[in-house]
Amino acid sequence: MIDLELLQYLETYLTENRRHRFEKVLAQRTKHFTVATEDVYQLHNTSAVIRSCDVFGIQEVNIVEERNSKRIDREIAMGAQKWVDLNRFHSVKEALKSLKQNGYQIVATTPHENDAMLHEFDVTKKSCFFFGRETEGLSQEVLDQADCFLKIPMVGFTESLNISVSAAIILQHVTNKLRQTEIDWQLTLAERQEKKLDWIKKTIKSYDEIVAHFYSQR
């Protein structure tokens, strides 16, 4: 539970433009969908996926680093890692367990399973889209635990897309379709307030001193 008086006080340190921007972006954020990357080797691919999540309003990204553990490429993510929440896991098993406990169906994105084409996907279900390694794709563990498989229709000689491109195509489609439904897909009021406080903390210089001053005056 956040201190609403503190939040209101901190908002006075933001420009009017920044306050409006926070409200506008938060109104489009969702946890109805989330994304998971599994041991992606090329750092720029994970960073680009994070950037796409921010662009299309996905608040949480799950990064499985069972084999590869690398820092997020700030240049590629273009600061998106500041606005999107990153959940890091050391094993696929741990990630799958956490996501399922949070009510997500596991969606394996792969061109090798004929389950559902992108335009057929049911956006009403709370879903986590899994993207695998560049060369190997998703692990057998994810494929075995998947609730459904999703593929992007392709008509050329190439059988697959770069994972960051796949993520962008899928997220643009499902989020656009989601916003046309009557599903309660937005963050709760408490989640929006908590996230706004987090963003303010990452935006304001001398945040700790300002907070200390606020409480000293109460």
Region 195-216: mean pLDDT is 94
* pLDDT at residue number 60: 97
177 within some domain:
yes
Region 113-126: mean pLDDT is 87
21 within some domain:
no
pLDDT at 154 over 90: no
Evaluated on CA atoms 89, 91, 95, 97, the torsion sign reads negative
Length in residues, the chain: 218
180 within some domain:
yes
* pLDDT at residue number 176: 97
What do you get for the CA distance between the two ends of the chain, in Å? 19
* pLDDT at residue number 92: 93
- Between helices 16-26 and 189-203, what is the axis angle to 10°? 140
Domain count, the chain: 1
106 within some domain:
yes
48 within some domain:
yes
* DSSP reduced 3-state for 146: coil
**Dihedral angle, C-alpha 51, 75, 69, 62, nearest 10 °:** -10
Region 190-204: mean pLDDT is 95
Range list of H helices, 3-146: 4-11, 16-26, 43-55, 74-77, 92-101, 140-145
Lowest mean pLDDT, pick from 23-37, 69-83, 163-177, 189-203: 69-83
Give the tens place of pLDDT for each residue, 58-94: 999 999 986 655 555 555 455 667 899 999 898 999 9
204 within some domain:
no
pLDDT at 39 over 80: no
pTM over 0.75: yes
108 within some domain:
yes
Domain that holds residue 90: 32-189
* pLDDT at residue number 112: 67
pLDDT at 162 over 70: yes
pLDDT at 99 over 70: yes
Query: What percentage of the chain carries pLDDT values higher than 90?
Result: 68
20 within some domain:
no
Region 162-182: mean pLDDT is 94
Q: What is the CATH number of the domain that holds 36?
A: 3.40.1280.10
Q: 193 vs 11, 50, 82, 95, 136, CA distance in Å?
A: 11, 22, 16, 26, 40
